[in-house]
Structure 1
């Protein structure tokens, strides 16, 4: 994140991020429809990593990928349907 803008989206934090690297599961992440292609591409990359983590049974890493996958799936679904986003979960 630089200057309050995560890699794909926007953030309410401007000076210091206590959750650096966990943007999609952070309640301060603000999804934007103009970033939908990036969300979809990131989701595919995370799913591939999740598959590898499962294959090699990296429990902590797998759990992290699963949380990120769930958050990104929610973001993509919300933006595609035009609904209201749910709050992200830890």
Structure 2
């Protein structure tokens, strides 16, 4: 099993957490922004979480090893949302 780059994982999860905090703040500021949050911030949040998982082992060098779609795709090892 490959070692996880814990600092990189921390940094990428922090980035995702900031996006989530922004989404929450937008809704708290004005509940009418909920649709926009669902259409913009939530897809961005998923992409950042996927990026965190997909690059956890390779760290920052993953950007040189994987194409963009692979970086932000649903992680292959996570079973959520897949028919078995």
User: Could you state the TM-score of these two structures normalised by the residue count of structure 2?
Assistant: 0.47
Higher relative contact order, structure no. (Cα contacts within 8 Å, ≥ 6 residues apart) = 2
Q: Identify, as 1 or 2, the structure richer in strand.
A: 1
User: Could you state the TM-score of these two structures normalised by the residue count of structure 1?
Assistant: 0.44
Structure label with greater radius of gyration: 2
